[in-house]
Structure 1
Amino acid sequence: MLVHPLPDLPASLYMEAFGHSLLLFSLYFLSHFSSALSNLEAASITHRQLVALSEKGDIPDDDDDFEIDVTIVNPRLRRAYVALRAWKKAMYSDPHNFTSNWIGPDVCDYHGVFCTTAPDDPSINVVAGIDLNGADIAGYLPPELGLLTDVALLHINSNRFCGILPQNISRLKLLHELDASNNRFVGPFPDVALRLSSLKYLDLRFNDFEGTLPSTLFDKDLDAIFLNDNHFSSQMPDNFGNSKASVIVIANNKIRGCIPSSIGEMAATLNELVLMNNVLSGCLPPEIGLLGNATVVDLSWNSFAGVLPKSLEGLTKVEQLDVSHNLLTGVVPGTLCRLPTLLNFHFSYNFFKGEAAECVPMSTKSTAVVADKSNCLAERPTQKSAKMCAPVVSRPVDCGRSKCGSSSSSSSPMKPVPKPSPKPSTPPRSESPVRRVRSPPPPVYSPPPPSVHSPPPIYTPRPPVQSLPPPVYSPPSPSIRPPPRPIHSPPPPGHHHSLPPLPSHSQALPPVGGLSYASPPPPFNPGYD
């Protein structure tokens, strides 16, 4: 089990808990591993970071307080040199020698480091961006990273950085993009990200963050929020709809409660919403139909009940609509299946008792790919039995009377309904975790094969990178729901480097969701324009 040290406890407590022998033991393995990072090693790296944060405290503002053995006239590059030297020391494994040239005073020549003229002083160069994507580096983030005050882009995805995001990075007032995905970060939601005044792109997926989603996250002026595949477990904040993001992916967590009615306030900006595989419940709010600009809406693998609101007809630009694996009932209206841009509509594994002719798979009245299996549809193949359907169909939920509880409440006054079949649990992290490199997927899902339950769409496989392994499941029994599809979201923009191929420990999974996000260009031109 992964140890989650608490960042607010004194580092001395961790030193006592781990002991010097553990540090020596971990050091030996960290110096010899090539691609695997065990939970013990991750915990040791986290401990070392907490000790460093405790010993160093805040970093000074005066350049003269930093003693370095080289001469760098430009004070801002001097501070960058101090930060990058400290970061290099905090790296315990660099199997592809990505940072092998991080030596000497010329930081602008360091691999993955990008310089340009300062926006406030064209006469000097500054470090404007750092991109270590896919380097498979193991280590932690030192407090000295707060010295990189000119950085507008920080990409460290698909590595093995452990511990927490240090509070000192709140000094990066120009930081526009933060991609810390596909690592081993732990602890509560990193509130330091909320204090980055220029941040637009936040990517924390595939880590071990846990606890509550802060409501202030959705008040921040972000354009993209990727939080999928963590352990967040709070209710969805009531101000969820305050977000102006174009892409929000919070899939594969444990978010509970209802979708707040404030979701309608996202109408002007939201393009893609992926909430699949949480524990959300209640009726779908009518306000969801106001998302007229959304092209992807994926609410599958939750416990939504009641009927589909008529307002869903307002999703006039939706291409991918997925409400499968819920407790929905009623009739699937033909107006949904005739939406002008709809390509795929999945409503399998619910309790629908009727569907319009346009919604029957392979119907000539609709051009969309439709999936309707495991419902309560008469004269359709692969449906639930009458015994399974009766308890839900005979006791429909009155969505007009149900109220979605506030983010502080723990229950909803809706009528009780049978719980859905349990989802298979995600297997624990292996000692050689593998995650995936992100690459832009094709724009549509492939039709599901008729003999497989809840199949993933078929895409060109992507090369895997060291991180979490894709879940491996045995074929489910008729009463167990098959595993949800994996979530994919697009790579961040900016410079990317050719790396030696990483060792593959499993087959890459096809991506889903997050199909079209593109954030602003990286700040490598004069003035960061």
Structure 2
Amino acid sequence: MPPSPSPPCILPLLFLFTIFTLPLIHTTFANNHHYVSKTPVYEPEPEPELMQYGPEGVQVPSNLVFENQYIQRAYIALQAWKRAMLSDPMNFTVNWVGSDVCSYNGIFCAPLPVSTYHHSARVVASVDLNHADIAGYLPDELGLLSELAVFHINSNRFCGTVPQTFSSLKLLYELDISNNRFVGKFPPVLLSLPSLKFLDIRFNEFEGPIPSAVFDKPLDALFVNNNRFKNGIPSNLGKSPVSVLVMANNELGGCIPSSIGYMGNTLNEIILLNDNLTGCLPEEIGMLKHVTVFDVSFNKLSGPLPASIGGMKAVEQLDVAHNRFTGEIPKTVCSLTNLQNFTYSFNYFTGQPPTCAPKVANGSDNCFAAKTDQRSKAECSSTMAHPVNCNSFGCTRTKPPVYTPRPAHKPPVYSPTPAHKPPVYSPTPAHKPPVYTPTPTHKPPLYTPTPTVSPTPASPSGMSSKGFYSPPPPSSYPSLVPPPPGWGMSSQSKYHSPPPPYVYNSPPPPPSHDESSKTYPESPPPPPSEDESSKGFPASPPPPIRRHVSPRPPRLTPGTYIYSSPPPPIYPNY
């Protein structure tokens, strides 16, 4: 019987099987018994939980600690704003990191007033990004800064519109967004800010009409110059209690409302240069008794210079140049004892220039016969030099009882009878004895002849030959009187505001080749017109040409708040 074959060697197979299965057994055992390998394993730490807020998607790490809820909301608002900044060449916001928002550049905190909020938690009270050259837009999250009092971002490159969420800034006192690239109509949300006193939106691209509601607000300073506003100056201009009003370099057109006279108790500066204004200067400008700067140059104003201008007793800078004024300059100009600069060049004034010239006066290019630096005979005989009918411009007072001071004169003019009725209509009892029976009084001592030859006694002063008392004519009324009460203005002409004090810079008037000696600062000149481009009037670039110097500040009472609005930056080689 043959031997059976030997079984194959299984030892090598068992060895290979052991090598491949032991690692699997080890891994399974470690997982089931939470075995920790001695080899260190490096795993990333888990990120803190994030909470997301607002349209900009700001994420607040849960490990951040804020001192109160106001600071946390401010963090969300400022981080959203930082995301909306498209360019920050000066790295102004480089430290806008972390929960200590009060240490951010341009951010200032202050405690809440205990009397109002019953606690003194710190809040973001002021934002000042002036001259940071930041480009971007204003996000909706800025409405979270509900305790903000000051918002200054002038001289940057912010664009777009002012967000509607600004309506929650109930404590906002100063708003300066000037010298940026904002567009659209006058921001309507600004009319809903109850605490606003200082508003500066100049040097932007706003357009359309200036809403009349802005003159119903209790503002103290209003700058809307160098935009594209049109459709004239609202007729309720006189309701505004502002001390400074600058509307220059727009395309307003139309007339200067006669209600301007009602601003006499508060207005210190008004600048309306290069606004395409027409019509005549209203007589009511003489009621602006506290105005120190009055500039209506580079317009199309016509007619005479009102004699009532003598009522502007405080005026120091008076500029009516580059208009179409005719007639003689009123002598009342000589009663302006504070006048330092009177510019009336490039008009059609005739007669003689005022002999009481102020420190600086410029009357060139008019029609004064005795001077050499005047217009040609052809110009002075043209239609422009002819007198005009001011009523033809449609600027007449549509509501005399409201817009003229006539109501103050109405009682003595239209109803003098009650005061004079007794002596006019029934004087006989008082004067009858001496008139009709003079004999008993004079016969014994003076006249012995019969009474028929006695002379009739002279009638008392103010009596007619028949014995009736004739009241004297009413005395002449002054040409101007203070406006009647009302108009929604408070009895105080100034508003008190928190320290520190500021100083504002009003946009200056345009330059002229004849006016280099003026102390009044200069502003970007308007575009040349067909009839004046040959006179050397330069074209106006959109931004300012050079840094301006503010005119002499108005004389204000102690405690008056003077606002700060830095001028636009200088653009080199421009």
Name the TM-score, length of structure 1 as normaliser: 0.68
Among 334, 342, 345, the residue aligned to 2:342: 345
Among 133, 139, 153, the residue aligned to 2:150: 153
Among 88, 95, 102, the residue aligned to 1:108: 102
Contact 1:135 1:159 in 2 (8 A): yes
Secondary structure of 2:279's counterpart equals: strand
Q: Where do 1:247-396 residues align within 5 Å? A: 247-358=244-355, 365-392=356-383, 395-396=386-387
Contact 2:526 2:538 in 1 (8 A): no
When residues 264 and 162 of structure 1 are mapped into structure 2, their CA distance, relative to the original with a 3 A threshold, is: same
- Show structure 1 runs of 5+ residues with no match: 1-54, 60-64, 359-364, 408-437, 462-468, 488-504, 523-529
When residues 333 and 473 of structure 1 are mapped into structure 2, their CA distance, relative to the original with a 3 A threshold, is: closer
After superposition, what is the alpha-carbon deviation per residue over 1:209-241, rounded to whole angstroms, capped at 9, x for unaligned? 111100001011100000111110111111011
Contact 1:353 1:393 in 2 (8 A): no
Matching residue's letter, 1:102 = W
| Cα shift at 1:395 | 3.1
After superposition, what is the alpha-carbon deviation per residue over 1:26-67, rounded to whole angstroms, capped at 9, x for unaligned? xxxxxxxxxxxxxxxxxxxxxxxxxxxxx949x9xxxxx985
Contact 1:486 1:510 in 2 (8 A): no
Matching residue's letter, 2:189 = V
| Cα shift at 1:453 | 3.9
Contact 2:527 2:540 in 1 (8 A): no
Q: Where do 1:375-524 residues align within 5 Å? A: 375-392=366-383, 395-399=386-390, 403-404=394-395, 452-455=513-516, 457=518, 480-483=534-537, 508-511=546-549, 515-516=553-554, 519=561
| Matched length | 399
- Show structure 2 runs of 5+ residues with no match: 1-53, 399-501, 565-574
Q: Bigger radius of gyration, 1 or 2?
A: 2
Identity of aligned residues (%): 47
Secondary structure of 1:162's counterpart equals: strand
Contact 2:334 2:354 in 1 (8 A): no
| Cα shift at 1:381 | 2.0
Secondary structure of 2:381's counterpart equals: helix
| Cα shift at 1:311 | 0.8
| Cα shift at 1:284 | 0.6
Contact 1:457 1:510 in 2 (8 A): no
Match of 1:435 in 2: none
1:77 and 2:71 correspond: yes
Distance 2:256 2:532 in 1: 29
When residues 508 and 351 of structure 1 are mapped into structure 2, their CA distance, relative to the original with a 3 A threshold, is: same
Secondary structure of 1:127's counterpart equals: strand
After superposition, what is the alpha-carbon deviation per residue over 1:460-491, rounded to whole angstroms, capped at 9, x for unaligned? 99xxxxxxx9679999997635447989xxxx
Distance 1:483 1:159 in 2: 29
Match of 1:465 in 2: none
Match of 2:196 in 1: 199
| Cα shift at 1:389 | 1.5
After superposition, what is the alpha-carbon deviation per residue over 1:155-210, rounded to whole angstroms, capped at 9, x for unaligned? 00111111111110111000000000011111111111111110000000010111
Distance 2:123 2:269 in 1: 35
Match of 1:433 in 2: none
Distance 1:402 1:234 in 2: 15
| Cα shift at 1:337 | 3.6
Distance 1:251 1:175 in 2: 25
Q: Which has the higher contact order (CA 8 A, sep 6+)?
A: 1
Contact 1:238 1:406 in 2 (8 A): no
Matching residue's letter, 2:330 = P
Distance 2:186 2:289 in 1: 30
Distance 1:152 1:326 in 2: 41
Among 88, 108, 111, the residue aligned to 1:94: 88
Matching residue's letter, 1:508 = R
Distance 1:92 1:443 in 2: 29
After superposition, what is the alpha-carbon deviation per residue over 1:370-389, rounded to whole angstroms, capped at 9, x for unaligned? 11011111121221111112
CA RMSD of aligned residues (A): 3.6
When residues 68 and 265 of structure 1 are mapped into structure 2, their CA distance, relative to the original with a 3 A threshold, is: farther
Secondary structure of 2:189's counterpart equals: helix
